[in-house]
Structure formats: C-alpha cells, structure tokens
Copies of this chain bind each other. A is one copy, B any other.
Amino acid sequence: MEGYTYLLSLCVILMSTKIFSILSRRAQLPQVVGALMAGLFFGPAVLGAITQHFFNVEFCLQPTQLLSRLAELGVIVIMFTAGMETNLDELKASGTSGFVVALSGVILPLGMGAGLMFLFDDHTSFESAIFIGAVLTATSVSITVETLKELGKMSTKVGNTILAAALIDDILGLICLTIVTGMGGEQDTNLTMVFIKIAGFFIFVGIAGFLYNRYMKWSDRVQAERNLRRYPVLGFAFCLFMAWAAESIFGVADIIGAFAAGMIIALSPKGQYVASKFDTVSYLLLTPIFFANIGLEVILPKMSFELVAFTAALIIVAIISKLGGCGLGALACKFDKRQSYQIGLGMVCRGEVSLIVMKKGMSMHFIAEEYLGPIIIMIIICTILTPVLLKWAFEGQKDAIGDTVFEDAFMTMDQADEITDDLFSRKLQLSSRTHE
C-alpha cells in the first residue's frame, strides 16, 4: 500500500506537463515536446539524479503500474481519436504510397542498424546485428499524430500517408520481429500463423464495423429520447474491446485496434459527437500521463566512452535511415521533395515497439545489457526531435483547399467550448441576479 502518493504524482504530472507545454509553445516548439520534457525533468532521469547526488535520496516522480496503465489508456485514446478524425477514403487513397513508404522505411533501418553493429564490434553475431536493426525499424506513430493534430495537418495528404505508413509499419515490424525471433530458434513463432492472424484481424474489423454500424443506426432510429451520453460510453467500450481483441486474439498492437474502432465510429451516427467528448478525457487526464510517463521511465545508465560514441552513431543511423528510407519511398510515390522530407520526418519517432524488440532481444541474449543505455537514449532523442523537426518542416506552408478538414473540426471544438463557457457565465449572471 503506497498510500495516497499517487494523487500527488498525478497532480505534479498535470501541472508540470501543462506548464512545460505552455513554455514550449512560447518557445515556438510543439507542446508535445514540453509534455515529454516534464516527465524527463521530474522523473528519475533529472530530478531523481540531482536529489540522489546532493541529498542521497531519490526524490522525484516514480513510474508506477498505475501510471503506466493510464499511459497505455492514453495512447489508446490518442489512436482512437486519430481514427475518428481519419477520413477513410483519403486513407485508402494513401494505402499504396503508405505501403511503399513503410517498406522502404523498414528495410533501410534494418540494414543500416545491422551494418553499424558489425562496424562497432567485429565479433558480433549475425543475429545480434539483425536484432539491433530490428530495434530501429518500428515507428511510434502516437507522438507524430499528436504533433500533426497540434499543427492541424492530420488530414492533409502528407498526414494521411504518414498515418497509413505508420500503421503498415507496425504490421511489418511485427512480421520482422517474428522472423528475427524465429531465426533465434524459438519454435513457437510461426510466420504463416502471423499472416493468418493479421488477415483474421482485418476480417474481424470488417465484421465488427458492420455490426456496430448496424446497431447504432437501429439505436438512433428507435430511441426517440435525446440521451446523448450513451454514445461516448458505448463508443469507448467498443474501442477498449477492439484494442483488447487486437492484442489478445490477433497479436496485433492494441493501438491498431483502437484506431480501427475510431474509424468505425466516425462512420456511424453521432461519430463527431463522440469524438468531441474524448477530447476532454484525453487532455484532462490521459494524454498528459502518457507523455509524462515516457520521460518517467527513462533511467540513464553510466556509460563508457566507447558506448557514448556508439550511442551517437546509433542516433544518427536511426534518424538518417528512417528519414532516408521513408523519404525515398515517398519520392518514389511522386511526392515532391518537401512532402517527402515531411513524411520521412514523421516516421523518425521510435517508441514502445522498439523497447519491446529490445527486451525480446535481451531475454534471448542477442542484445547485451550494455546496449540498454544507447537504445533508450536513441528513442528519447528521436521522440523529442520528431515534433520539433516536424513543426519546422511544416512552417509557413499554406494548405491547399480540402486539406483542412481536421483544422475545421478543431475550430468547431473550440467554438463549442466557447459557447459552453458563454452559456455558463450568462446563466451565472442570471442566477446571481436573481439572488440579489
């Protein structure tokens, strides 16, 4: 029983992410960067290390099971909202280019990562090298999605291609992990089975979507009373179910399930209304915890000079291979240079999947303990750099007509917010007048 400390932790997380977000916006950086820094700063990595050094006690926010669960819910809600804001037709149109971008963005990091490992250590085994390469393949889409939302570029052609590529990348990463693990001799991973499961997942999404939509249309017709609350609640339950089913039944990432649920809901009655409700839950509780938690889980190990050099090389390889791979893929799909650069950048971010691959590699003794530090630092740098570079890449760009559906929705949300506020303050004046 750790008592009531978690209340204080949540309080510090909400305060610090908000303040750091405001500060980073003042510094012309995306707010996401501030939220990430807040966790890094108040966690073991900075505040913990400082207090440890000066007072011999680690006095800082600690990662707990509660926080990591809420962070998982946070990323599920982020991807769920992204799904609700995605235009299915545009995503379909981005499918082919997304596939090309994802594929070239997997091959290059895999090759370059393995190459770096051979360069750094002659005695390294082929499997170890491939594992380091595999760590570099997986894009973490959630940070990019939040940044694109913030910039109002989610519904652009570039945004849709990044989204499609990142979703496909997740599936390619899964296949990649299966092959690598299989290579290592674990016989319970069967590639055919993985393909069957992925196909099964898509069929499942189709059926679930059809049923949900049917039910909602029926419910919308039958219910005369305007009880709106049930829509977000049922929508959220559906999202959680899809996230669970994706992971537990089909072995696909939970966030892909949440994303699919979001797309299904966006196409059914009251979809936009449901989306507007999640905005609140997201910014008021779950998203700050998600970002802060990334920083919180960082513990920097002591490293030799050689390892520091390897870290620097790993970071450079991580960025260049993804930017290059995805960028070239985008160029091949006839995006112009600037767009290709934006798409490449959007895919640079690494996250939880890289960590999963790393952990798997360690448990199979293909990745030595000492590489934990370099890999974690690489993930942090990529995570923090992506939003910053992405913002610069989009700077000063005017959107073509039809590119701003999302920004519209965002403004509608703000409008609704202001109307709510107005309603209340007017009511308040009224009621204080009647009190006089």
- Which chain A residues have a beta carbon within 8 Å of chain B's beta carbons? 3-8, 10-12, 14-15, 18, 22, 65-66, 69, 73, 76, 226, 228-230, 232-234, 236-238, 240-241, 243-244, 247-248, 254, 270, 272-273, 275-278, 280-281, 283-285, 288, 402, 405, 408-409, 412, 415-421, 423-425, 427-428, 431, 434
6 A-B pairs with the lowest CB-CB distances in the bound complex, closest first: A272-B424, A11-B240, A7-B244, A14-B237, A416-B420, A280-B280
CA distance A248 to B428 in the complex (A): 35
Set of chain B residues within 8 Å of A232, measured between Cβ atoms:
280, 284
Residue from A236, A238, A409 having most chain B Cβ neighbours under 10 A: A236
Residue from A6, A405, A421 having most chain B Cβ neighbours under 10 A: A421
A-B pairs with beta carbons under 8 Å apart, 14 shown: A4-B247, A7-B247, A11-B244, A14-B237, A22-B230, A65-B65, A226-B418, A236-B285, A280-B281, A281-B285, A405-B431, A409-B427, A416-B424, A420-B420
CA distance A272 to B417 in the complex (A): 12
Set of chain B residues within 8 Å of A281, measured between Cβ atoms:
280-281, 284-285
B284–A236 touching, CB < 8 Å: yes
CA distance A412 to B428 in the complex (A): 11
Give 20 A-B pairs besides A6-B69, A65-B66, A276-B420 with Cβ atoms closer than 8 angstroms.
Answer: A3-B247, A3-B248, A4-B243, A4-B248, A7-B244, A7-B247, A8-B240, A14-B234, A22-B230, A229-B283, A233-B284, A236-B284, A272-B421, A272-B427, A273-B421, A276-B424, A277-B280, A280-B281, A281-B285, A405-B431
CA distance A126 to B5 in the complex (A): 37
B244–A8 touching, CB < 8 Å: yes
CA distance A65 to B405 in the complex (A): 41
Minimal beta-carbon separation of A248 from chain B (angstroms): 5
Minimal beta-carbon separation of A266 from chain B (angstroms): 10
